[in-house]
């Protein structure tokens, strides 16, 4: 691809204006809608990250590297060896190797934050991680303070704010509360599309309960728990 991967434009000297960043995120979201809902046999990519987002001469986004991709089974998930890139893995994937469309949504949320904020993520347990920083700004009503300083178009502030809120919703630790990618596309294409409801404070812990046939998750805002959660077996 003429413009390489999205990775070269995050936190580096290469510049992308806001309309181009928004176009890239819409293109990536549309690619995931195709994989999850429109391609006949649903596919989970399992490695959505800036390095795998290729940009053509017009900065259209193309999702590449399907080496970890898997066809979904009848129950809507696939369980394999834990694979993917640290920092982009949803908690359920990290614990159980269970990949679903919702785990791709989580990875997409991380890409959103990185591209809007202009910096790469750190490990989730790092108190200065990108996710922590964005949530802190959201909680104090100053979400736009974490936006990349190279994005100076004040006329697009509402679109930028909505995009960050989409990113946070995609990163919800409870996979059942993440939006589907089709909802994300609707939000990106329509400024009047209602946003997902976000909690007032960051949901921290993920409690997993599972046996040989099923598992469930719940979330809490108890900051005494681990940022990645706990596993309870039955």
pLDDT, tens only, 36-58? 999 888 899 989 999 999 999 99
- Please name the residue that has the structure tokens 């099923």: 214
| Residue 232, strand partner residues | 209
Measure CA of the first residue to CA of the last residue in the chain; give whole Å.
Answer: 49
Non-local CB neighbours of 202 within 8 Å, separated by 6+ positions: 132, 135, 138, 139, 221
Whose CA is closest to 144, among 124, 118, 164?
Answer: 164
SS3 assignment, position 10: coil
How many Å apart are CA 141 and CA 119, to the nearest integer?
Answer: 21
Reply yes or no on whether 58 is catalytic: no
Q: Which value, to the nearest 10 degrees, does the dihedral of the CA atoms of residues 86, 44, 105, 188 take?
A: 130
**pLDDT of 6 higher than 90:** yes
Contact 128, 190 (CB under 8 A): no
Residue 206's closest CA among 84, 93, 50? 93
Angle at 196 between CA 190 and CA 198, to 5 degrees: 140
What is the sign of the dihedral through the CA atoms of 142, 143, 144 and 146? Answer: positive
Digit-coded pLDDT (tens) for 59-95: 999 999 887 778 776 555 555 555 557 778 777 765 6
Average pLDDT, the chain: 81
pLDDT in tens, 168-202: 999 998 989 999 999 999 999 999 999 999 998 98
Domain 6-201 has CATH 1.10.510.10: yes
- Catalytic hit among 47, 104, 148, 174: 47
pTM of the predicted protein model: 0.82
Mean pLDDT of 145-165: 89
Whether 231 has a pLDDT exceeding 70, the answer reads no
Nearest to 4 by CA among 67, 66, 57: 57
Backbone dihedral angles phi then psi of residue 192, each to the nearest 5 degrees: -100, -5
Strand, helix or coil for residue 44: strand
Q: What value does the mean pLDDT take over residues 101-113?
A: 95
CB 87 within 8 A of CB 121: yes
Residue bearing the bigger pLDDT, 70 or 19: 19
């Amino acid at each position: 691809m003429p413009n390489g991967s999205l990775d070269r434009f995050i936190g580096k000297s290469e510049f992308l204006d806001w309309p181009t960043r928004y176009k890239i995120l819409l293109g990536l979201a549309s690619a995931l809608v195709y994989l999850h809902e429109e391609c006949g046999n649903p596919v989970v990519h399992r490695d959505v990250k800036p390095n795998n987002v290729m940009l053509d001469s017009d900065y259209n986004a193309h999702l590449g590297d399907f080496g970890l991709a898997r066809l979904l089974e009848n129950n809507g998930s696939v369980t394999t060896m834990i694979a993917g890139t640290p920092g982009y893995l949803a908690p359920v994937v990290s614990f159980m190797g269970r990949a679903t469309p919702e785990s791709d949504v989580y990875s997409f949320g991380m890409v959103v934050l990185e591209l809007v904020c202009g910096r790469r993520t750190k490990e989730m347990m790092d108190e200065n991680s990108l996710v922590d920083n964005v949530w802190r700004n959201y909680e104090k009503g100053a979400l736009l303070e974490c936006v990349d300083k190279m994005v100076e178009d004040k006329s697009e502030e509402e679109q930028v704010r909505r995009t960050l809120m989409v990113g946070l919703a995609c990163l919800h630790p409870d996979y059942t509360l993440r939006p589907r990618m089709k909802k994300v596309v609707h939000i990106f294409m329509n400024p009047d599309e209602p946003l997902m409801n976000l909690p007032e404070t960051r949901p921290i812990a993920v409690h997993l309960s599972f046996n040989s046939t099923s598992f469930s998750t719940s979330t809490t805002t108890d900051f005494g728990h681990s940022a990645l959660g706990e596993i309870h077996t039955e």
